[in-house]
Amino acid sequence: MASTLHDIRVVIIDPNGDLDLRLYTTKNATGHQFNSASDGKPIAGKICVQLTVSRKVMVESSSYFKAMLSNNWAESWQSVVDIECEHPVSAELWYRVFHKSPIPNDMYDIPIDMIGNVIQYGGLVQEVRGSDVDLEELCKWFEKRLEGLDLLTITTDELEMLLYPCYAFNHAQGFATVTKRLAYEISGHITEINTTEDRSIHLDGNVIGSVNGAKGSLRSQLIRGLFGPMDRFMDATCACKEKSLFAYCQGIRKTGIWPLQDQHKKSVQQILDSPGFVKFAIKIPDGACIQCVSKLSRSTIKKVRDEISKDFHGLCLDCINMTKTGDVDNDYWAHDRMQQWDFNCRIDHGQPSWYFSFVGRKTDMKNHQLKKKLEYKKARFWGLGF
């Protein structure tokens, strides 16, 4: 089956454009073919879209197109060029950015699982790995795309798909919201989902470790908050302490955290939102003394729930990305001393977010460690009198 011109969607990115880019796919295109723009020979595939652009803008904006259109390749003199492209929407978005052309509203509705393809295509046109793409020109687009999402209700799978994009586009609020929800709502190991074929597109490993560390900290606080009060019964001298302790254990069981060996199957949020936790109630045993009645008060458990619910505000990109003082070491200790956990940060957060965020991007931390090694060697060199 041959593709005909009237089957092809035509998009005018530059009204004065002198180059038509025909993007075609070979996926799900069995039986489709079209005539090559260069030699007229049939090409197996299906043309998705034809984009009218400026050759000059494409050459100046992309090393990939500079090599294709300004050297001795056949495409350098063609007015129509065929390009295999499995993600034409991502390509069109980048071309529009190159031309500073208005972005249509439907491009702000790109599905979550296709945002990674936008990053991947940026790697193609910049001739770098996806993880090294300069995304500055697309930050406004991503910001508006996130505004169209309800980050508080999307699925945890979608959150894991958004982890890297929020990180790569340096979207502080989005990254904090995503990492906070994952820490509270995932029961098992938190991972990220890469929806592209580019395996370089992933978070630094220490970032994933930090999100899981925050989740583990919340779980530890939950266990400590629920089981800590038992010590007060153990130290009591009244005759009703055994019955009161049993009543407390019965109340804990209703939260869903008991038995302990099964608690890992539930997320922190599932336990916090369980009816037994939200409406924590204990049947006061007959004859319980006033001290035991006080220990069985639901206010104790309500305090635990409130504190844990407000403990972690998500990872902070500013604490990950930047030093506040210009020196990584001074920055760490200055934060710890001043306790201004969100100083100069774009989001408000407390100590747990700072603690788990202060990991640095891997490249920055490697450079810092190398610098320290060189300084140490230099100090030893001069110390030995050479």
Q: How many CB atoms lie within 10 A of CB 21?
A: 26
Helices (H), 186-297: 205-227, 230-234, 241-253, 268-272, 275-278, 290-295
**Gap between the Cα atoms of 272 and 225, Å rounded:** 12
**Gap between the Cα atoms of 88 and 117, Å rounded:** 10
Asked whether residue 5 carries a pLDDT value surpassing 90, the answer given is no
CA 283, chain centre distance (Å): 44
Asked whether residue 256 carries a pLDDT value surpassing 80, the answer given is no
* pLDDT band, very low/low/confident/very high, at 260 (cuts 50, 70, 90): low
Give the closest residue to 31 by CA, choosing from 16, 46, 17, 53: 46
Phi, psi angles (nearest 5°) of residue 329: -65, -50
* pLDDT score recorded for residue 381: 61
Cα-based angle 372, 164, 345 (whole degrees, multiple of 5): 60
Output 203-208 pairs: Cβ under 8 A, ≥24 positions apart. 203/163, 203/164, 203/167, 204/359, 204/361, 204/362, 205/362, 206/359, 206/360, 206/362, 206/365, 207/167, 207/315, 207/320, 207/359
The helix/strand/coil state of 310 is coil
Asked whether residue 42 carries a pLDDT value surpassing 60, the answer given is yes
**Gap between the Cα atoms of 313 and 227, Å rounded:** 24
Decide: 102 and 42 in contact? Cβ < 8 Å: no
pLDDT for 194-246, tens place per residue? 999 999 899 987 899 999 999 999 999 998 888 888 888 988 999 999 999 99
* pLDDT band, very low/low/confident/very high, at 298 (cuts 50, 70, 90): confident
Pairing of strands 19-25, 80-84: parallel
Q: Report which of residues 148 and 276 the model is more confident about.
A: 148
Asked whether residue 76 carries a pLDDT value surpassing 90, the answer given is no
* pLDDT band, very low/low/confident/very high, at 384 (cuts 50, 70, 90): low
Decide: 315 and 214 in contact? Cβ < 8 Å: yes
* pLDDT band, very low/low/confident/very high, at 328 (cuts 50, 70, 90): low
Decide: 76 and 68 in contact? Cβ < 8 Å: yes
Count Cβ atoms within 10 A of the Cβ of residue 225 and give its class: 0-12 exposed, 13-18 middle, 19 or more buried: middle
Output 234-240 pairs: Cβ under 8 A, ≥24 positions apart. 236/291, 236/292, 238/289, 238/291, 238/292, 240/285, 240/287, 240/288, 240/289, 240/292
Give the closest residue to 320 by CA, choosing from 331, 330, 334, 310: 331
